[in-house]
Amino acid sequence: TFLLNHSTLRSESASGVWTRGRRRALLGLRARRGRPRRRRRRRRRRRRHHERSVEATGGGGGGPPWCFFPRGYRSYRAENLTATAGGYAALLRRCAATFLPGDVGTLRLDVALETRSRLRFTLRDPARQRYEVPLDTPPAGARAASTLYGLQFNEDPFGLVVYRESTGKVLLNTTVAPLFFADQFLQISTSLPSHFITGLGEHLTSLILDTAWTKITLWNRDMAPPQVNLYGSHPFYLVMEDGGLAHGVFLLNSNAMDVVLQPSPALTWRTTGGILDFYVFLGPDPKSVVRQYLDVVGYPFMPPYWGLGFHLCRWGYSSTAITREVVINMTAARFPLDVQWNDLDYMDAKRDFTFNKKTFKDYPDMVRDFHQNGLRYIMIVDPGISSSGPPGTYKPYDDGLKRGVFIQNATGQPLIGKVWPGPTAYPDFTNPETREWWYDMVKEFHDQVPFDGMWIDMNEPSNFVEGSQDGCPSNNLEDPPYVPGVFGGRLQAGTICASSQQYLSSHYNLHSLYGLTEAIASHDALVRVRGKRPFVISRSTFAGHGRYAGHWTGDVWSDWEQLYYSIPEVLLFNLFGVPLVGADICGFVSDTTEELCVRWTQLGAFYPFMRNHNDHGNRPQEPYAFSPAAQNAMRKALYLRYSLLPYLYTLFHKAHSAGETVARPLFLEFPKDPNTWTVDHQLMWGAGLLITPVLEAGKTKVSGYFPAGTWYSLAGVSASLPICSRQHWADSTIHSKGQWILLPAPLDTINVHVRAGHILPLQEPAFRTVESRKKGMTLTVALTTDGFARGDLFWDDGESLQTFENGDYTQILFLATHVSLLRVNSQVDGLLLKAVTVLGVTSPPRQVLANGALVDDFSYRSDTQVLTIPVSLPMWEQFAITWS
C-alpha cells in the first residue's frame, strides 16, 4: 500500500533533448515556434515511438510537456530488502529494457538512518564503479535510535516513501513515476507536500520557485541572463509545510542536470551521470533544515573583520595613479573604505601573476602605502593561464607544463581555450600537484605585491571559444543522449570540452566543481602565504563552497529589476551555506543612474559582502561621483553599516560555528506565519534586524511586511556625527499583528527595524575598520512588552586563524529585564561601553545606576519611550546597569 497512489500524478517526459549521433540539441518550444509542421511531424513520431525518443520543453522555459510516460510504465522491482547496521539495503532489477542507451539492469539501494533528522539513500550500479562527487561528508555510523521520519518501501514497481512521523505528511514519494538509471541518464521523481519550495541555485529568480512546469538547469555557465543556468550549482531545496514545518532534500551529484517542478506539486530530478545520492533533512523548522544541510556540506569559513567593510572596484582603473586617486577621493569625501580592488588592468597582457611595468610600475609600493593607511588590497586572478608566449618567458605556464598541472585534451596535451590573454590552458585543481603549483605562484607574486585576498573570476570555467581552439572530439561525452536545458544547447558552450580529462575524472563529471576546487586551492594558498584568515571571492560555486570562499552574483545589469533579484540571490546563498555574498552595487553592465545607485548602496549596506563594482566604459559610480545629496544618502548608509559591524561579525561567527545564516528570509524566523514564506523584497540580518529597501524608481514610500511583535525603527545616521553622539532612533514604533505597513522612504533613508527582544552591539563608525574597532561600543536594547531582551557579541583580533577553535576569543552575553542589564563572560581589553539605548521603557525612570554609581545625565523621551544612558564602563569587567 502507498500513502499516495501511483496513478494520481503524471510524470513529465525528459524535458531536455534526446539526441542520436551528432544531432545538435534543440532549444525547445520557443525556438521551434516558426516550424509548426516539423513540430507536428515530430509529435506524431513521438506518439508512435516514445520508448525510443521523448522530447518536451527545452531551454530555460516552462509550460506543460508535450508527452508523458504512460501509466504503468515498467520500472525496477525491489528484491531482498534487508536491515543493515545503518539502515536498509536492497537490490533493484529492471523489469524490461528501456529506450535508453547504457541501461543499468541491476541497482543497489542503500538507506542510512544517519541521525534523528537526517536520512541518506543512494542508488548505485553494483557491478561497476561510477563517478561520485569527491565532497567530504559525515561518515556513516550506526542506525539512529529514533527518527523524525518514517519509511515505506514498494516492491513492484520500486518506490520509497519518506513521511514525517509527527504528522504523517508524505515528504518524498518516488512511486509517482518510473525510475531510470542508465549510463548517461538518471531520472527520479517525487511528490511534494507543498508548492512553497525554494533553493536549486544559481538562477535569477524569486525566492519561492514556480511549480507550474518550471525547469531549472544546473551546469555552471558564464552567463548573465535570467532563467538560464548561471555560475553555480546547488542541488538542494527546502519546502515549507503546514504549520511552519519544513524539510530539505540534497542530491549530491555534480553532472549536468535538469530539475523540473510540476504543479501536482511534484519534482523530477534528471541528471546525466554519476549516482543518485540523496540526503533528506527533517528539520522540523527551516532553520534546522539549513543547519542539517550544512552538517553535510560544511559550515562557512570565518571572514576577517576587514572583509565586512566597504569594497570598491571597477574595470578601468588603468594605472596606479588612477587607483590611488580613487582612494584619495573616497577619503576626501568622507566615505568609509576598507578594501581597494583592481580588475584586469594591473596585469601585463592580462596574464595572471604579472603586473604592467609601465602603468603599474609602482604597484608593490601602492599596496604597501594602502597598508600604511589601514587599507586592504585585492586583485582579480583568472584560472586561464596564457599559453602563447615563447618558452621560458612566462613561468606560470612553463612551470605548470613541466609539472603536468593542466587539463588535458583527448591527445593527452593541455587543452587550449581562449580567455582574456588569448590562448590559455586551464589548471586542474583536482590534482594535488596543481594545488602545490598554485601555492607557488601565489607565494611568488605575494612576495612582490603583498595583496590581502583573491578575487577568482571566469572559473566556471569560461571559454571564448566552444570547447577548445581545436574543437572537441565526437564522442558520447560531447554529444550525450540527453542534453539538459543548458544555455547554448551543448555542454561545451561557453566552456571547455566535456571529454577533457582531469586528475579525478572527466570534465563531463567535474565541470561544476571547477570553481569550488579553485576556491579550495586559493583558500589554502592564502593561509600558507599570509598566515592569517583568507579572503576569497569566487564567481563559480558548488555545494560546500562556503567552507572556503564567498561569492558575488556576477555581471548584473544596472537596472531596478536586477536590484530586486539581488535580494533572493543573497538569501538563497545564505541557505546554501555561503553567507559572504553580495551583488555589484549600482550594477555592473550599462550606466547606472543616481537614484538607482543611491538605493542600491542603501540595500548593499546590508549585503553581507559589500562591493561597488563597475564595467569599463560606463559612467563613474564611485560614491563621490554623484551630487551632494546623493553622497549624503550613501554616506549615511555606509556609516550605518559600519556602526553595525560588531553585530554583523557576531552573525558570521554563528554561521561559522553553528551553521546559522547571516542574511535570512523572514520565513526562517517566522515559519508559522505563511505570509512570510513568499517575502523576498525584504531581508533580515540575523534574528534582530529587518531591512525594507526601496526597489522601484521614483518611490518615496515602501510597503513592508512586519510579522507579529514590536519593531523599533532605526533612522538614518548623521553624515557628520558619530552614531553614539546623537539620538538615532526614529519616533515610530510598530506593534504588528502580522501585517503589511506603508513606510516613508525619502531618498536618503532605508528602513531598518529592530525586533523587540534583541540587544545589538554597535560601535562608532570610522573610515577603516582598523580604526572603528578601537572606538567605543554602545548597546541598543529593544525590550519586549514584558521587558525582556538578550544579545551577544563575539570578539577576537579579527584576522588570526582558528581563534574560536583555539579558544582565543571573547564571547559576551547581554541579558535585560525591565530593570537591569547584565553582561557576563568577557575578557575584552581596551574596549569601553560608552552608551546604552533602551527602547520600550514605558515609564520615566526616577534613578539610573551603573555598577551601583548614580548616573545623572541619562535622558528619557516619553513620546518615543527611549531611555539613553551615557556610561564609560570597561567591557572586560562585569557590570550591571539598573533603573527604577
Please write down the HEC assignment for all residues of 479-514.
CCCEECCCCCCCCCCCCECCCCECCCCEHHHHHHHH
Q: Is the residue at 279 inside a domain?
A: yes
Relative to beta strand 266-271, strand 257-262 is antiparallel
Alpha helices by DSSP H, listed for 385-497, are: 395-403, 432-448
Task: Say yes or no to pLDDT of 548 above 80.
Answer: yes
Q: Is the pLDDT of residue 318 over 90?
A: yes
Q: What is the pLDDT of residue 32?
A: 25
Closest CA to 760 of 724, 797, 802: 724
Read off the pLDDT band of 20 (50, 70, 90): very low
- DSSP H stretches of helix in 363-407: 363-372, 395-403
DSSP string, 748-804: T--EEEEETTEEEEEE---SSHHHHTTSPEEEEEE--TTS-EEEEEEES-SSSTTTT
Whole-number Å distance between alpha carbons of 637 and 804: 30
pLDDT band at 62 (very low <50, low <70, confident <90, very high): low
**What is the dihedral angle through the alpha carbons of 285, 287, 290, 293, rounded to the nearest 10 degrees?**
-60
User: What CA–CA distance (Å, rounded) separates 267 from 256?
Assistant: 17
Within-domain flag for 495? no
- What pLDDT does 820 receive? 59
Q: Is residue 259 situated within a structural domain?
A: yes
Nearest to 540 by CA among 456, 464, 416, 618: 456
Q: Looking at residue 66, what DSSP letter applies?
A: S
User: Stretch 388-412: mean pLDDT, rounded?
Assistant: 97
DSSP letter string over 135-184?
---PPP-SPPSS-SEEEEEETTTTEEEEEETTT--EEEEGGGS--EEETT
Say what the pLDDT of residue 223 is.
78
Give me 158's grid cell.
Answer: 520500486
3-state helix, strand, coil in the chain (%, to 5): 20, 30, 50
What is the three-class DSSP state of 438? helix
In this structure, the chain runs to a length of: 884
**Residue 876: per-residue pLDDT:** 78
Q: What is the pLDDT of residues 357-388, one digit of tens each?
A: 999 999 999 999 999 999 999 999 999 999 99
The reply to whether 457 belongs to the active site is yes
Find the range with the poorest average confidence among 22-26, 403-407, 767-771.
Answer: 22-26
Instruction: Reduce the secondary structure of 637-655 to three states and give it as a string.
Output: HHHHHHHCHHHHHHHHHHH
**Residues 193-251: tens digit of each pLDDT:** 999 999 999 999 999 999 999 999 999 999 766 778 999 999 999 999 999 999 999 99
- 275 — phi, psi (to 5°)? -125, 175
Work out the end-to-end distance of the chain between its first and last CA atoms, rounded to an integer number of angstroms.
Answer: 66
pLDDT of residue 11: 32
Residue 316 has pLDDT above 90, yes or no: yes
Buried b (16+ CB within 10 A) or exposed e, 142-156: ebbeebbbebeebee
pLDDT tens, 433-490? 999 999 999 999 999 999 999 999 999 999 999 999 999 999 999 999 999 999 999 9
Residue 363 in any domain: the answer is: no
Task: Please indicate, yes or no, if residue 225 is contained in any of the structural domains.
Answer: yes
In tens, the pLDDT along 479-505 reads 999 999 999 999 999 999 999 999 999
- Tell me what pLDDT residue 831 has: 86
Burial track 238-271 (b if 16+ CB lie within 10 A, e otherwise):
bbbbeebbbbbbbbbbbbbbbbbbbebbbbbbbb
Nearest alpha-carbon partner for 232 in 240, 222, 245: 222
- List CB contacts of 139: < 8 A, sequence separation 6 or more: none
d(CA 749, CA 764): 19
Whether 433 is a known active-site residue: answer no
222, 457, 518, 660: the active-site residue: 457
Question: Considering only CA atoms, which of 683, 576, 545 is closest in space to residue 200?
Answer: 576
Looking up cell 553622497 gives 631
Confirm if 851 and 836 have CB atoms less than 8 A apart: no
Q: Show the CA angle centred on residue 187, arms to residues 183 and 189, nearest 5°.
A: 165
**How far apart are the C-alpha atoms of 59 and 228, rounded to whole Å?**
7
**C-alpha count within 13 angstroms, C-beta hemisphere, residue 842:** 8
Question: Hey, is 247 helix, strand or coil?
Answer: strand
**Mean of the per-residue pLDDT values for the chain?**
90
Identify the pLDDT of residue 23: 25
H or E segment and range at residue 36: helix 36-48
pTM, 2 dp: 0.92
Contact 572, 231 (CB under 8 A): no
pLDDT tens digits along 680-711 = 999 999 999 999 999 999 999 999 999 999 99
Instruction: Assess if residue 203 is contained within a domain.
Output: yes
Question: Tens digit of pLDDT for each residue in 811-866?
Answer: 888 999 765 555 544 556 778 999 999 999 999 999 999 999 999 999 999 988 99
Range of the domain at 196: 78-297
Q: Which residues contact 40 (CB under 8 A, 6 or more apart)?
A: none
What does the pLDDT look like over 626-663, one tens digit per residue?
Answer: 999 999 999 999 999 999 999 999 999 999 999 999 99
The DSSP symbol for 10 reads P
> Which pLDDT band, with edges at 50, 70 and 90, does 349 fall under?
very high
Using 50, 70 and 90 to split pLDDT, how confident is the model at 163?
Answer: very high
Give the integer Cα–Cα distance in Å for 781 and 847. Answer: 18
Instruction: Spot the catalytic one: 460, 569, 622, 799.
Output: 460
For the cut 60, the answer to whether the pLDDT of residue 398 exceeds it is yes
The CATH code of the domain that includes 167 is 2.60.40.1760
Q: Which residues pair with 233 in a beta bridge?
A: 542
Q: What is the dihedral of CA 722, 723, 725, 727, to 10 degrees?
A: 140
Task: Give yes or no for residue 12 having a pLDDT over 90.
Answer: no
What's the structural domain count of the chain? Answer: 1
pLDDT of the residue at 339: 99
Q: What is the pLDDT of residue 269?
A: 99
**Per-residue pLDDT tens for 727-753?**
344 457 999 999 999 999 999 999 999
pLDDT digits (tens, 9 = 90+) for 559-570: 999 999 999 999
Residue with the three cell numbers 618567458? 393
Domain assignment present for 216:
yes
Exposure of 128 by Cβ count < 10 A (0-12 exposed, 13-18 middle, 19+ buried)? exposed
Q: What percentage of the chain reaches a pLDDT higher than 90?
A: 84
As a whole number, mean pLDDT of residues 509-519 equals 99
- CA 841-846-848 angle, to 5 degrees, is 75
Give pLDDT, residue 355: 99
Residue 197 lies in a domain: yes
Alpha-carbon span 221 to 204, nearest angstrom: 13
Report which secondary-structure segment, H or E, holds 123: strand 118-124
Q: Is residue 177 very low, low, confident or very high in pLDDT (cuts 50, 70, 90)? A: very high
